[in-house]
Amino acid sequence: MKDHVYKLIELTGTSPLSIEDAVTNAIKRANRSVKRLCWFEVVETRGNIDKGKVQHWQVTIKVGFAIDD
Amino acid sequence: MKDHVYKLIELTGTSPLSIEDAVTNAIKRANRSVKRLCWFEVVETRGNIDKGKVQHWQVTIKVGFAIDD
Amino acid sequence: MKDHVYKLIELTGTSPLSIEDAVTNAIKRANRSVKRLCWFEVVETRGNIDKGKVQHWQVTIKVGFAIDD
Amino acid sequence: MKDHVYKLIELTGTSPLSIEDAVTNAIKRANRSVKRLCWFEVVETRGNIDKGKVQHWQVTIKVGFAIDD
Amino acid sequence: MKDHVYKLIELTGTSPLSIEDAVTNAIKRANRSVKRLCWFEVVETRGNIDKGKVQHWQVTIKVGFAIDD
Amino acid sequence: MKDHVYKLIELTGTSPLSIEDAVTNAIKRANRSVKRLCWFEVVETRGNIDKGKVQHWQVTIKVGFAIDD
Amino acid sequence: MKDHVYKLIELTGTSPLSIEDAVTNAIKRANRSVKRLCWFEVVETRGNIDKGKVQHWQVTIKVGFAIDD
Amino acid sequence: MKDHVYKLIELTGTSPLSIEDAVTNAIKRANRSVKRLCWFEVVETRGNIDKGKVQHWQVTIKVGFAIDD
Amino acid sequence: MKDHVYKLIELTGTSPLSIEDAVTNAIKRANRSVKRLCWFEVVETRGNIDKGKVQHWQVTIKVGFAIDD
Amino acid sequence: MKDHVYKLIELTGTSPLSIEDAVTNAIKRANRSVKRLCWFEVVETRGNIDKGKVQHWQVTIKVGFAIDD
Amino acid sequence: MKDHVYKLIELTGTSPLSIEDAVTNAIKRANRSVKRLCWFEVVETRGNIDKGKVQHWQVTIKVGFAIDD
Amino acid sequence: MKDHVYKLIELTGTSPLSIEDAVTNAIKRANRSVKRLCWFEVVETRGNIDKGKVQHWQVTIKVGFAIDD
């Protein structure tokens, strides 16, 4: 059986809606340039504030994908 | 007054919907075998990806409960 | 151009609904006494449990705001 | 010679007196259900405050014990 | 039911006697300017040494208090 | 599809041979009391020394297993 | 002898010149509203980039000052 | 003398044999697409378990390489 | 309004002069292959020593840049 | 004015009585071989257990002392 | 019974073979100048790479030994 | 080829001028008692403040040197 090797890249997704939506946006974008995404880990959750309201959730994740061949 | 003692156990809850739902699933399950759950702390937030989409949010929490008597 | 200085304060917001709502409550409260809030970072996510259910999400954040003049 | 295996459990002991007493309370309680306790490590020291005084020291420890057979 | 918001401030208490006394000194001082102190967490324990003896225990804590209204 | 819940327990395996063997010993022992072990993470690697030689590798791991039903 | 109590506040100083200058700016600003500043610790060093050049060094520090009386 | 610049990438190597073999597999794979690999640091050691045995060691490393010209 | 996505890459810049110069060298190099650099964070500061003197400051940073379209 | 240089050494003091006593024992011992001890920081608090009781508190500290001339 | 005091020193052992061999080399070397070595903890695992292969495993450990007199 | 062993010592250098100068002072002092210094890592950056100005930068580093023979 083959021993897989994976690469992890770090992305910050943003969304005015929620933490989950910011993560989803980052993964959607990663999926356009990398195939075979396998898992992610949340590294940091931040946001910017405008006029006393959260304007964007900024969630940094590591995304892992197979680079076997 | 009695000095309480608490035990902390570590669980990973999963959900296709949200971080909150994954936590809720873990606590619901803990509540079936342990009574007197008091608090939880989020330890790690991860997820697996299938076809470029988050398939499951995987949230690891510590749950504390009283073990006095 | 002016070199800004920012102050960071640490707050714990709570909500029965979600992590995002707990953060929003903390920022809303901060906005009543401090102007020019700029950004926040999530420091810790906890909660208390009552009768096997999450009663309140308790999210601790650092909030940064300009204190230039 | 045998290769021992140990299990670590996490407990929060409480006491109105001192950090040492809170740890002692947690270990005393653990000793009622687990034999062969070997060591502990302090993980976190907190407390609750009532009327401007420490009401309880809350010390979280990991306790290790042999589970060989 | 109301969603409380808490503020955390960071203090270093000192005492020639013990860690607990240093924490107590910090909380006593905080209680003079802030009402409704709820909990604390020990962040760091240090001390200065004079002529080969601990002169002061220096314990840094975070103290949380309600800022609801 | 079912949302799995996992429990993590912390174990210290020991071995005079290697880090891998210490981990294997801990997992072998866990497998006798828990079914459906899924994954592990190395938390700490230590050892005791006797007469200038490593006598036992002591490797602490977290082991996760499904507790669904 | 009196047991001092200190408060720590967190500030982000900025400067186009250097890390030291960003720290100095934060301390200079703190000194305008707080007397008896004693020490600081660097918590984080970041910066923003414009047209491929560091535009501002952003250094977050904790500053301690005596609050005895 | 030239001031080198290095890039660090994060990889997870896997192997049924050992931690060292998992690292070696990751570096071998990196060497196929990047020249001038200089050093690595182990970030995390995990593994998956099947039928009570370690099936694969999963070791995450950062690998540094020169990107001067 | 568009939800931006950012990628973070990790670089080690070196310089015989200063920490700031090492960071600047890393950013200058990144700017040659990546457009729209936005921010950086210092991750680690090290150096090598030759004949009792710092020969090179080695500063590892994460650099973030927009990857929207 | 002279720019002092300090060395930090790491010691584990032990005591059957308390955390403070374990620290005091370590400093007393350090003072026999090193002059001009200035400060200490608590790094880790552990202990061994015998027959369900704390036998020794084991407190690891860093101790700093001037090595100017 | 005597209250032991221990000193911890930090060493980096290297080996072309394995992590265990690098640790063993460091302990062997420590044993030549210090008697009564008791335990070690792995602090960091790194290595250098030459022509796409691990040339040396570099493992940093803390080693504790009794310094009672 | 020989497998080198290195020792790491921890020093705090101070300087009224800059972080770099504080590090340089610590290394200069280490070089008087230890030969073959190889590398350093910055562990902590602090400073003391007098009359609202940084009086001394206090930078703690680990310095590694070969102890082969």
Mutation target to probe the E interface, by most E beta carbons within 10 A, among J15, J27, J29 is: J27
Question: What would the pLDDT profile of L32-53 be if each residue is shown by its tens digit?
Answer: 999 899 999 999 999 999 999 9
Measured in whole angstroms, how far is the alpha carbon of residue K9 from the centre of its chain?
A: 9
CA dihedral (D8, D14, D15, D19) positive or negative: positive
Which tens digits make up the pLDDT trace of D11-58?
A: 999 999 999 999 999 999 999 999 899 999 999 999 999 999 999 999
3-state secondary structure of A61: strand
pLDDT at residue H47 in the model: 98
The answer to whether the beta carbons of residues B9 and B62 sit under 8 Å apart is yes
Q: How many residues does chain H have?
A: 69
CA B20/CA B28 separation, integer angstroms = 12
Q: Which of J13, J18, J3 is nearest to J62 (CA)?
A: J13
- Give chain C's mean pLDDT: 95
In tens, the pLDDT along E12-50 reads: 999 999 999 999 999 999 999 998 999 999 999 999 999
Instruction: Please check the confidence at residue J18 and state whether its pLDDT lies above 80.
Output: yes
Q: What is the ipTM of this complex?
A: 0.96
What span, in angstroms and rounded, lies between the C-alpha atoms of G53 and G51? 6
Measured between beta carbons, which residues in chain J are less than 8 angstroms from residue K4? 14
- pLDDT for G15-60, tens place per residue? 999 999 999 999 999 999 998 999 999 999 999 999 999 999 999 9
For residue G59, what are its two tokens? 């250094």
Whether J40 and E18 lie within 8 Å, measured CB to CB: no
- Nearest partner of L10 among L40, L45, L51, judged by Cα: L40
Q: Is the CB of residue A48 less than 8 Å from the CB of residue B57?
A: no
Residues of A in contact with B54 (CB under 8 A): 20, 23-24, 27, 40
pLDDT grade for B69, boundaries at 50, 70 and 90? low
Q: Which of residues 6-45 of H touch I (CB under 8 A)?
A: 6-10
Contacts 24+ apart (CB under 8 A), J51-55: J52/D27, J52/D28, J52/D31, J52/D37, J53/D24, J53/D27, J54/D20, J54/D23, J54/D24, J54/D27, J54/D40, J54/J16, J55/J16
DSSP code at position D14: E
> pTM for the full model?
0.97
The verdict on a CB contact (< 8 Å) between J29 and K5 is yes
Does D62 sit within 8 Å of F10, measured CB to CB?
yes
Phi, psi of G35 (to 5 degrees): -95, 165
A12-56 pLDDT, tens digit each: 999 999 999 999 999 999 999 998 999 999 999 999 999 999 999
- Stronger pLDDT, A68 or A3, i.e. the higher one: A3
How far apart, in whole angstroms, are the C-alpha atoms of residue J13 and residue J46?
10
Instruction: Tell me the residue type at J12.
Output: T
Residue K44 pLDDT: 98
Q: Using one digit for the tens of pLDDT, what is the confidence trace for A45-63? A: 999 999 999 999 999 999 9
Q: B8-62 pLDDT, tens per residue?
A: 999 999 999 999 999 999 999 999 999 899 999 999 999 999 999 999 999 999 9
CA distance J22 to E22: 17
Are L9 and L60 in contact, with CB atoms under 8 Å apart? no
Which DSSP category does E51 fall into?
A: T
Q: How many CA atoms lie within 13 A of I22 on its CB side?
A: 27
Please, are residues B54 and A38 in contact by the beta-carbon 8 Å criterion? no
- Judged by DSSP in three states, D23 sits in helix
Give the DSSP H/E element, type plus range, for residue A23.
Answer: helix A19-33
K36-66 burial code (b ≥16 CB/10 A, e <16)? ebebbbbeebbbebeeeebebbbbbbbbbbb
Q: Which of B46, B48, B27, B24 is nearest to B36 (CA)?
A: B27
Query: Alpha carbon of A36 to those of A69, D29, H15: distances in Å?
Result: 12, 49, 20
Of the candidates G14, G56, G60, the beta carbon closest to that of C8 is on G60
DSSP H or E segment with residue J37 = strand J37-50
I69 vs K65, residue with greater confidence: K65
Query: Tens digit of pLDDT for each residue in K3-58?
Result: 899 999 999 999 999 999 999 999 999 999 998 999 999 999 999 999 999 999 99
Distance CA C20, CA A18 (A): 7
Cβ-based contacts of G3 with chain E (< 8 Å): 13-16, 22, 25, 56
